[in-house]
Structure 1
Amino acid sequence: MAEVQYLALTTKPSAQLSYTFEAPQATSKPVLVVFVNGLGLPQAFWLPVIAQIKALRQGQSIPAFLTYDRFGQGQTTDRDPQDAGAEDPMHGHDCLASVQDLRQLITQITQDKLGISDVDSISLILVSNSIGCALSRLYAQEHPGTVAALLLLDSVLANSDFVSIFPDPDAADFDPAALRGLPVEAIRAVRAGIRRIFHPDVGSKEGLSRRNLRELLPASDAPVLKGPAGHGPYVTVVGHDFDAFAEESVKMGPPKPVTNLFVNPYWHRYNEGLAKITEVKYSKGPIQAPNAGHFIQKDNPEFVVQELNELLTKVL
């Protein structure tokens, strides 16, 4: 298993990013798989996926693998230098800033580890979870024609404030029938709890802000992305297992009936949109990862390996 290394981005030389890199084996063209974290789990949770995909593909072409922890996350203890003096350090920078860092990291790794000076000449596969899916989409939008495939694991609901998923009992047009017999006070409590934890106004320890994410990604199904071969990238959209997620959500407040009635259908519709950010023939999903809650790479790494291997077969 690759050891954690550190580098300074040339755009931010005063800070160190932690990363792991594994060199390609027996490949006829340069392919780099980059794993993009959510807010919750650091890069270490991708390592079992890499170990399993390498074992599965033994004797076949194996691409280069890159994991990293963003500034202020996991084994990257340095904060984003651009956040210095931020009015609210939990909202120090936005997703576009993180995408710029990712671009610079890929550029340097491509040069230093693969000996390739033209970063856009490599085939790039982005595997991401949660808000990492938003970062991957933004990367593909900002750098059209550079991303060959995306594996999106339970994407963040980028255009939602999360609270509005649930009916507002105090709204003028509230219909009690929408609650299907659930107590009004229970819904009020869920809305309040979700606002405290998941609303975009809630910052993050790493300083990555979601306040403008709705403006950056206003639709789940647009824009349609451009891949490197004159068509859209391969896109596989994976959602959580409804039952596993409902069980997981109880720990954060919402009872299972509330999650099953409102959150799971809402998230599935969002994922149906995500499957449309490429042409139909290059799209797969949404599919559900069996027995996996929000953190699919932790709960079911074997499923991630299966889906990633399918994309590698298409790209390599």
Structure 2
Amino acid sequence: MSETICLPHKPDAPLSYQFVPGQGPLSTTHLVVYLNGLIAPQSGWRATIQHLQRRWNKGSRSTNHPPLLTYDRYGQGESARDPADDQHGGSHDMCEVVADLHVLAQEIWRAKIRKDISNGDGAVQVPKLIFVANSIGCVIGRFYAKTYPGSTAALLFLDSNIANSDLVSLFPDPDAPGFNPAILPPDSTVADLRRTRAGYAAHFQPSAPNPEHLDRRNIASLLPLSDAPPLQGPDEKPGPWITVVGHDWETFAEEGLRGSMNVPKGLTNAYMNPPWADYNGGLARLTSADRARGPLIATGCGHFIQKDDPALVAGLTDDLLQKIEAGGAT
């Protein structure tokens, strides 16, 4: 069942969330937070959580696992519109989203886990976070870990948005001087290329509007590189555990062909999939090599990996939890 919470700095705007209690030592030190993309709300994680709970019920993990939190960001799903939109021309940016998430983690921890989250010197204690994220949610999780060094124990990146690209420019410009149509794949024409660029601009370019009213135009300046700066792990560890997963090239290309934009598979495979794979490789270098896994390919999965293979996502999450537990819950 969904619940609502109003954050102290936005008291008239309820956020919708779901909370699954944890058990054992990890339940008082860590919190798994699922971070949605722009399109799929928190309900998109339901199957993943069910698979994770089945794994726990079959093994020893049932006695030691952290609580799980899903939520709809402001402007998403069942949550209210962000009050910050009224002060910023009708939208809010990544910095606002991450600041809200930080307060949400504190308030959930206070309400559900520990009533007193002060360590005695006035500082507020928060759990070590484990992010399971898809698409723009990966960017949110990464920027959170960068903004609050040492806060994040692990990140599972599921087909991260390419934060430092407008996506349109990954495709050649048919109107640029010297453009040679002969470079196009056999299944693609100049008209296909022009239409694809226009479709990406309308739907995916950072300046494109979205129902959440998330202004993405400054993301490339906030995170200009895929592999830097390195992220800091809890307790001065060399870095958080990071697992990077990308979509299946063929499945993603097929989805693009059959989708509303009708992108020829040749264009996707020539100009979108290779730089995306390179970007995923950079994400795996945000931590020390011994704490990185991937990039992996989610066989048979398109962009929404948690929808196409929730059992895979559950298994990868449990793998990260085992690493954290083996390291002494750090």
TM above 0.5, one fold? yes
Residue correspondence of structure 1 range 267-286 to structure 2 within 5 A:
267-286=276-295
1:49 aligns with 2:48: yes
1:220-245 CA-partner distances (Å, limit 9, x unpaired): 11110000032100000110111111
Contact 1:149 1:311 in 2 (8 A): yes
Structure 1 position 219, deviation (Å): 0.8
Contact 1:54 1:62 in 2 (8 A): no
Residue correspondence of structure 1 range 179-258 to structure 2 within 5 A:
179-181=184-186, 182-230=188-236, 231-250=238-257, 251-253=259-261, 254-258=263-267
Partner secondary structure for residue 151 of structure 1:
strand
1:163 aligns with 2:148: no
2:9 to 11, 17, 23: 11
2:303 to 294, 297, 302: 294
Q: TM-score, normalised by structure 2?
A: 0.90
Task: Give the distance between the partners of 1:107 and 1:121, measured in 2 at CA.
Answer: 6
- CA spacing shift, 1:175–1:276, aligned 2, 3 Å: farther
1:104 is matched with which residue?
103
RMSD, aligned CA: 1.5
1:143 to 129, 143, 148: 148
1:238-297 CA-partner distances (Å, limit 9, x unpaired): 101111111111203211111111111111011011111111111111111121111111
Contact 2:185 2:267 in 1 (8 A): no
Q: Which amino acid aligns with 1:18?
A: S
1:64 is matched with which residue?
67
Task: Give the distance between the partners of 1:141 and 1:86, measured in 2 at CA.
Answer: 24
Partner secondary structure for residue 322 of structure 2:
helix
Unaligned runs of 5+ in 1: none
Task: Give the distance between the partners of 1:169 and 1:270, measured in 2 at CA.
Answer: 24
Structure 1 position 111, deviation (Å): 1.2
Contact 2:22 2:68 in 1 (8 A): yes
1:132-155 CA-partner distances (Å, limit 9, x unpaired): 011001100110011000001000
What percent identity do the matched residue pairs reach? 45
Residue correspondence of structure 1 range 300-311 to structure 2 within 5 A:
300-311=309-320
Q: Which amino acid aligns with 2:276?
A: W
Bigger mean CA deviation after superposition, 175-184 or 298-307: 175-184
1:183-215 CA-partner distances (Å, limit 9, x unpaired): 222211211121111111112111111111111
Bigger mean CA deviation after superposition, 199-208 or 128-137: 199-208
Q: Which amino acid aligns with 2:117?
A: S
Q: Which amino acid aligns with 2:48?
A: V
Structure 1 position 121, deviation (Å): 5.3
Task: Give the distance between the partners of 1:13 and 1:256, measured in 2 at CA.
Answer: 47
Task: Give the distance between the partners of 2:206 and 2:85, measured in 1 at CA.
Answer: 18
Contact 1:149 1:234 in 2 (8 A): yes
Task: Give the distance between the partners of 1:298 and 1:209, measured in 2 at CA.
Answer: 25
Unaligned runs of 5+ in 2: 119-123, 326-330
1:110-165 CA-partner distances (Å, limit 9, x unpaired): 11111051565533101111000110011001100110000010001111111111
- CA spacing shift, 1:274–1:120, aligned 2, 3 Å: farther
How many residues get paired?
A: 310
